Amino acid sequence: MFTDFFIQRPVFSIALSALLSTVGLIAFHQLTIRQYPEMTANALSISTSYTGATAETVESFITTKIENAISGVDNIDYINSSSTPEKSQVVIHLALNADMNSALEDINSNLASVIKKLPEGVDNPVIKKIDPDATPAMIVTFSSTQRHAAAITDYLNRIIVPQLVTVSGIGSVDVLGNRTYAMRLWLNPLKMAALGVSASDIEDAFDDDNIQAQPGAIRRSEQVVAINAQTSLHTPDEFRQLVIKHQNNQLVRLSDIADIELGAESYTKSVRIDGQQAVGIGINIKSSANPLMVSMEAKRTLDTLRQQMPNDFQMIYARDNSTYIELSIHEVMRTMVEAAIFVFFVIFIFLGSLRAVLIPIVTIPLSLITTFAFMFAMHFSINMLTMLAFVFAIGMVVDDAIVVLENIHRHIETGLSPIKASLRGGA
């Protein structure tokens, strides 16, 4: 039998076991630790914005047209879409083993004819590869007792996000509940009607008087002087003084028909932590990266940035998947130790031999450590599923070891030598 070769050559068996254990330990340090097995994203997202449009308008004039245009692309498994106020999103799930680049080319080609038919004011569709089941591995919230959400958002976009995206293994950093600074104009329809001002008059005024100009420079014999033209508006007071219309030798300014304030682009997104208004960041980790190592490096970066934050800022880790992964692995390791202890007592109580106890105690870790080498060769990772398989495997290894050991012990008691008893008991 296969086992007879190793029983008759104990030195070779010990050397081979030591070699496999060494290779397994080396492979263990090279394996990626993650929550679930790595899965390649096989989906594309088409996002389109239409400012001011209702969900019904977005559905009729954008989502439906995009769906009809891409429905004929090859290797599409199914399409789902959502239409919300001002935004359309179409998610294309490709068939298994479909060529992503080929599908992307076909979709771009089909969308080219649709873009011309979209209503005026619609932003060009944005296509990107997505993981439909992906969720941020870490969510960190920032709140302040003295600053509003727009100020926190501005700080995150200028200081925190640029530092985090440089961390190796981080795919993207999204600002959650963001309140990006914007100049808000609250038009008064009654005043506009009384002064004969229409919405198009306001739009024309902005096009004419709020522009970005590059006037160039003045060249002299030994000097070049750059010209900085102040042609754009920045403060609420500058917007209030903007002339909208000339009427009866009088100037109609924006302050005559509207209330102007520095606010946020949108107030429809909000994040709260412990009942307090906050702004969060969602950290997405690349599918090929080690979540534990990336999370550790991200925490180290955030802890460094925390020391530079204003005193009124409060940072809270609202979600951290690495903690769950560490606890899961810890539970599996504890299960292994408990199994070894139970095996020790069961064998010692029924066989009364410490030498017999050492056999399964060595067999369990040797089998598991050797498995790491094969996992590394097959590009597996240490995750919830492989850890669950380890738990089941421990039961199988223990059962087999106890059954074989008891059978060998029985043959020794009948008078056979340990070698012969091993050859017969392992059969």
CATH of the domain at 116: 3.30.70.1430
State whether 44 and 121 are in the same domain: yes
Are 392 and 373 within one domain? yes
**Are residues 51 and 121 both part of a single domain?**
yes
Q: Which long-range contacts (C-beta less than 8 Å, at least 24 apart) are formed by 67-74? A: 69/110, 69/111, 69/113, 69/114, 70/46, 70/107, 70/110, 70/111, 72/110, 73/103, 73/106, 73/107, 73/110, 74/103, 74/106
Residues 44 and 128 in one domain: yes
Chain segment 381-404, per-residue pLDDT in tens: 888 788 778 877 777 777 777 777
Hey, is 181 helix, strand or coil?
strand
pLDDT grade for 40, boundaries at 50, 70 and 90: low
Residue 123 sits in the same domain as residue 198 = no
How far apart CA 268 and CA 141 sit, in angstroms, is 18
340 has a pLDDT exceeding 60: yes
Q: Are residues 16 and 60 in the same domain?
A: no
Three-state SS at 94: strand
What tens digit of pLDDT does each residue of 148-166 get?
888 888 888 888 888 888 8
- Has residue 276 got a pLDDT over 60? yes
Query: Mean pLDDT over residues 7-16, rounded?
Result: 82
Domain check: are 115 and 188 in the same one? no
The larger pLDDT score, comparing residue 376 to residue 209, is at 376
Quick one: pLDDT at residue 150?
85
Q: Do 403 and 427 touch, CB atoms closer than 8 A?
A: no
The strand pairing partners of 119, in sequence order, are none
- Are 195 and 251 within one domain? yes
195 pLDDT above the threshold of 70: yes
- The span from the CA of 210 to the CA of 243, in Å, is 11
Instruction: Tell me the mean pLDDT in the region 68-85.
Output: 85
d(C-alpha 164, C-alpha 157), whole Å: 11
Write b or e for each residue in 393-427: b if 16 or more Cβ atoms lie within 10 A of its Cβ, otherwise e: ebeebbeebbebbebbbebbeeebeeeebbbebbe
Window from 47-51, 149-153, 318-322, 405-409 with minimum mean pLDDT: 405-409
Do the domain assignments include residue 327?
A: no
In a domain, 119, yes or no: yes
Residues 192 and 127 in one domain: no
Domain boundary among 69, 102, 132: 132
Q: What is the CATH number of the domain that holds 195?
A: 3.30.2090.10
The domain containing residue 115 runs over which residues? 40-132
Q: Are residues 13 and 96 in the same domain?
A: no
pLDDT confidence tier of residue 379, bands split at 50, 70 and 90: confident
Instruction: Indicate the DSSP class of residue 6.
Output: H
Note whether residue 170 is domain-resident.
no
pLDDT greater than 60 at residue 133: no
Percent of the chain predicted with pLDDT > 90: 2
Q: What is the pLDDT of residues 283-310, one digit of tens each?
A: 888 777 778 888 889 999 998 988 888 8
Q: Is residue 404 domain-resident? A: yes
Check whether 214 has a pLDDT greater than 70.
no
| Number of domains the chain contains | 3
The domain boundary, picked from 235, 264, 293, lies at: 264
What pLDDT does residue 131 have? Answer: 64
- Please state, in angstroms and rounded to a whole number, the distance separating the CA atoms of residues 175 and 153: 8
**What's residue 270's pLDDT?**
79
pLDDT digits 0-9 by tens, 15-31:
888 898 899 899 888 88
Residue 383 maps to a domain = yes
Is 216 a member of any domain?
Answer: yes
The vertex-25 CA angle with 19 and 28, nearest 5°, equals 140
Termini Cα distance of the chain: 8
Edge-to-edge strands, sheet with 126-130: 76-84, 87-94, 43-49, 126-130
Last residue of a domain, one of 99, 117, 132: 132
Q: Measuring CA to CA, which residue among 275, 281, 274, 278 is closest to residue 149?
A: 278
Residue 202 lies in a domain: yes
Q: What is the mean pLDDT of residues 200-226?
A: 74
293 in a structural domain:
no
Indicate whether 71 and 106 sit together in one domain.
Answer: yes
Both tokens of 97, joined, read 């083993």
Cβ atoms of 151 and 143 within 8 Å: the answer is no
- 195 with 257, same domain: the answer is yes
